[in-house]
Structure 1
Amino acid sequence: MRVFATALLLVMAAAFLTFRHLAGLHPEWSVPLGFAIAFTEAAMVGGLADWFAVTALFRRPLGLPIPHTAIIPVNKDRIADSMGRFLQDNFLTPQVVARRLHGFNLAASAGTFLSGPRGGEQSRLSEGTAGLLADVLESLDPEQMGGMVKAGLRSQLEKTELAPLLGQMLDHAIADQRHLPVLESLLRKTGELVEANEPMIRAMIHQRANTIMRWTGLDERLANGVLDGTYRVLAEVIVQADHPLRAKIDDALAQLADDLRNDPAMRLKVERVKLELLANPAVAAWMDAMWERARAALLRAVRNPDKALAGSLGASMAQLGQALGQDARLQALVNRFARRTLVGISSRYGSEIVRLVSETVKRWDAKTVSGRIEGAVGRDLQFIRINGTVVGGLAGLAIHAVDRWL
């Protein structure tokens, strides 16, 4: 469109020169050529004026330091702040979110999208949405976005009391006997550990035995008895489901579960350990690595949505879509949860999201900002140049006609 608008301006310039030349050669054609000259002359003025106006938005025309040009690069930071305020005022306040979600059946729409055939408009929509999401993920600052996600996760972990949750999980595991494979594995590992360190155990028994026992060889018999007894007890506990030691272990685990739920001292101890772990640099590094893996996996999924939704995952998503589309109670539950979640997110993190967008745009260089905005609306701006050339020419015709009439 830029080439077309420029070519139209050059055509008007060439026509103007041609008509002026013909007017000198053929004075008898002065009236029609006068209108043609007036049209092309005014069209050049209109086209040049609009070229200057459009160019001045994104850069300095001809590189000249003319005041009030390169408006977008010069005002990049102000534009970023305005975008942030617009986003917050129109999309991220709890009142706006609640009002926009009121009466909107999000669950039914999601069900129709998930269960419908993948093709036509839906494929284009999913591809466009996935591409947009990927572009957003790649354009946002990974460190700041990751920091916000990790800060939210850390905040939720700090608020969540783990001891009662661990106690309930342990209670359910004991009731369903899901702890038995873990217990048997621990017993086998204990036997392997004793066997691997048998020379060290024998040496410890020999060192602690008195002189008489060493002279009589009783220390060796004692070491053999300790090791054989340990192996026998471990084997019996693994093989016999009703072994007394198993019952004692179950009782100890049940008591631990009860303490985790009801003992203030135990709950305080668990909370203290949790806070120490969260403050540990190793845990912070683990959270960083987990976020990077999640972000990379999400980018791979949105870059290739068809592959991500293929196979059993795609079938499961289709079944979920059918359930969402047909079950009114499930729709009401999902819609209520979505409204509360989105309103809560806008209330808690709206300002953080706005600041993230604003600071990301501010970190872009001026050329990048201008290029992205021009790429989004540049085609329409070139139509302004074309319209300016045509309208300018028509205005020149009108002015020339009025001048001749007067």
Structure 2
Amino acid sequence: MNSTEREQPEEPASEGGKTADGRSPAPEAGRPPLAAGPPAAGARRTGGGGGGRAPRSGLPSFAYTEADAEKQRGVRRMKTMATGLLLFVALVFALATWAKNSGAGPWAGYVAAAAEAGMVGALADWFAVTALFRHPLGLPIPHTAIIPNKKDQLGASLGTFVGENFLSEDVVRARLRALGIGRRLGMWLSEPEHADRVTAELSTALRGALTVLRDSDVQAVVGEAITRRANAVEIAPGVGKTLEKVVSDGAHHKAVDLICARAHDWLVEHADSVMDAVEGGAPGWTPRFVDRKVGERVYRELLRFITEMRDMPGHPARDAIDRFLTDFASDLQSDTETRARVERMKSDLLSRTEVQDVIASAWSSVRTMIISAAEDDRSELRLRARASLLSLGAKLATDERLQGKLDGWVEDAAVYVVTTYRGEITSLISDTVASWDAEHTSRKIEAHIGRDLQFIRINGTVVGALAGLLIYTVVHAFGG
């Protein structure tokens, strides 16, 4: 016989807050049960239906709290009342039967019939209530001790019921559509204090995320992403199109003006250096004064050329630059060799340590800037985020088309989750119930619904007595 069968269940004549063998459901020595964990090794469990198997590894059982113990005490008080009512109708039946046999009058028969039917109703309901949690009188009657024996099946049925009736697409869509999430969210966000709260929470989350991330990891990812992206895209055609547009619009003329002006100023400031460079390149057999004259002549011609380029927009050299840039832009787009050389230059540039360090250091600068902006209540980032939230809230609160779009996104997301993970959600219910200890499960359920079940016993006694009285009255009225 299993543990439940060894535990003597309550009997009508012994209900007073304890089981029939005199043991209280609550722990001994006044210590409230806190955890309904698995029984000790070697302990026997309630058999049948898988309800007595050990909790599954990794799934803790529930706690039998002090609140549950208080509810259990209320159940025992109701058991006492129901059993007291049964004893009362039994006493009335005995006295009424004695009075009837003693010739007390017709009333005694009516009272005896009512009391007898009340006893039958009380006993029947006692059996039904007791059979939910244990074997009545300790007898292994079929279809009794339902909760301990059928715990796993009940968990599986509950999971299936939830999956079919709460996690279906139609139910989820109907419920979310009735909530009007878009309109409610818009009205909530349109309040300045709510927008401030969301902005503050987003800033906190952003700071936390940036704090958790390691700079070295992010820098490596950013550097690799930029390098990979740059290597994957050929830049020569794009540069050629841009250069062609710049030349056709004449936007490069200002750059040429700047270069000419700077070149003129440099020649003026470094005349001796230019002439010394010319003299230094002259043959060794030429006289020094000749080298000096040649240097001065070259310098004057070079200065004159640069001055004319600077002051004459139509200078032939400027036209030559335009033609060169136009041809170069065309080669960048169509010439295979030119494009290949540009790609090699790009790869060489990206592979240089200095460039990689610049790319990696960019993250540190961005991170510092974002954290500083997130911490400052008056930063442009916080103010723009707040204004955007207020604008979004106002639009959501009034724009039915936008509300419908947001509601549709939420519905689609929720439907995807419940349809994709319905099995995992329902298995959570069935697996959790299966992990519970059968005895503790019965105790916890009884603690929560036991009072109502004892009212059933009381109602059964009263209804049985009234039904017996009615039947007795009808029989004597029509049968003599």
Scaled by the length of structure 2, the TM-score of the pair is 0.42
More relative contact order, 1 or 2 (CA 8 Å, 6+ apart): 1
Scaled by the length of structure 1, the TM-score of the pair is 0.49
